[in-house]
Chain A
Amino acid sequence: MAGHSAALDSKTLWGGKISPFSTSYGKLMMWFFLVSDALSFGGLLISYGFTRHDCLEAWPIGEETFNSMPFLGHGFPLLYVALMTFILIISSVTMVLAVEAGHRMDRKGVTNWMIATIIGGFFFVGSQGWEWYHFIHGSEFGKIELADGSVAIVKGHFGEIKNFTVTTPGNHHKEGDVIKEDLMHTFQHAAAAGHINNGIITLHDGSKASITKEKDHELTLIVKKSGRVNKASKAKRKITGVKAEKLYYEALYSGEANRVIYGANLKQNEYGPQQYAQFFFFITGFHGFHVFSGVIINIIICLGVVAGTYQKRGHYEMVEKTGLYWHFVDLVWVFVFTFFYLI
């Protein structure tokens, strides 16, 4: 969009003789900032690829890890993250429409499209919050170390725990007590600490109880790390049916600590190697922080639009500059989506 043949004064030309790129200083500096920021993300994703290559088969697969939807449960591979991607693309579109309205000096148009962008941004940040919660919280089955030393992730529908019936009294519970509260939490804690032995759970107060639980459905073990018997090689990695159930509960009810891992933190996670969760938290967290700050910047600029600052100035270049940042956030997500979730 060159074509300004009119004489420009020296201030416009940054004090030089010829304008380098026929663009304003602010816009050019925004571009330079984005280049450096893109290099940070590039470095992160390359180190991710490097680490993943080093771990190979033990590394989690996106469609196996991210297959939940809010309110709907499991069995929807990649659908949620696709929805997030769609939200971010749409908010990028509303941003570019705001920039376009700005070029026509249409203040109302800019305001409306910017508000739409901000709403989209909040939706994305909220979705990421849910994703993190789900990732940290983990699945009902967890990751299990089988008797032969192999490590497997578990898929299927967890049969509901009905109650614990106390068989040996402790400090708090009496014999014959039927416990119906906080079952899943207690169960997972006890399983991870090795307090379940042959189907008998030891509760906090030292009492022992039997577990009444519905049957699991379609329980599948996907072996991620080879043991003496079960191999992680491609042909043999899935174990299903009665055999899977036997192996899983044998390990879960072994009475040994740390045979099962639920959820994720920086030290361990149920999806794969330790670095996996670290990369997840850092890359999506760094991106999420960018989105969050983008929303804040958008809000500030939107207030300026409403106040009429840019109408008075005669152009909406500030909207264009924040637009650049917002599109960049979308651009980064396109790559994170491919390398973290798809491949």
Chain B
Amino acid sequence: MERDDLIEYSLDTHHNEIKGKEIRKKIYKVTILLTLVTGIEVFLGAVIKQDASIWPLIKWTFLVLTLLKAGYIVMVFMHLGDERKWLRYVILVPYFIFILYLIFIALWEATAIKSVLTYFS
């Protein structure tokens, strides 16, 4: 059987010990960052109650922090940041188009569905 994972591209990602040290340093940095962000999220979630007046702000903070964490995981851990520009676009653009559309349609149709549910309950 012919192998489809041919060696050239796979060898492209090889690196030496010095470069490896650099990469590991970056990995440890991101680890600390992700742990800190999770810690902050849990602290905010446990301390600030949902009926507090500041809650909407906290909610947005959670969203921003989550996207930050996701960005670091995808770009550093999954190496998407090191891939070619067009590979990045091919992965991210379709995803965002679909998911933004899904969010849009859920919000848009929610009013109509709410009225139906209220009518029948």
Contact = CB atoms under 8 A, between A and B. Distances in A.
Contact of B5 (A19, A20, A24, A89): A24
A46 B8 CA distance: 41
A25 B5 contact: yes
Interface stretch (A2-10, A160-168, A181-189): A2-10
B106 A89 contact: no
Contact of A314 (B2, B11, B102, B110): B11
Interface in A226-264: 234, 237
A105 interface: yes
Contacts, number: 172
Nearest to A341: B45
Contacts of B95: 35, 38-39
Contacts of A126: none
A307 interface: no
Given A62-B45, A103-B20, A234-B51, A24 B9 contact: yes
In this complex, the interface size class of chain B, counting residues with CB under 8 Å from chain A, is: 35 or more
* Residue picked from B12, B39, B98, B113, most chain A C-beta under 10 Å: B12
A61 B83 contact: no
A82 B41 CA distance: 9
B70 A79 contact: no
Interface residues of A, number: 73
Contact of B106 (A50, A78, A320): A50
Nearest to B8: A12
A77 B42 CA distance: 9
B42 A82 contact: yes
B57 interface: no
B106 A49 contact: yes
Given A2-B12, A50-B110, 10 more contacts: A2-B84, A6-B8, A12-B8, A21-B84, A22-B9, A35-B91, A54-B113, A86-B38, A330-B77, A342-B41
Interface of B: 2, 4-17, 20, 23-24, 27, 31, 34-35, 38-39, 41-42, 44-46, 49-51, 59, 62-63, 65-66, 69-70, 73-74, 76-79, 82-84, 86-87, 90-91, 94-95, 98-99, 102-103, 106, 110, 113-114, 117
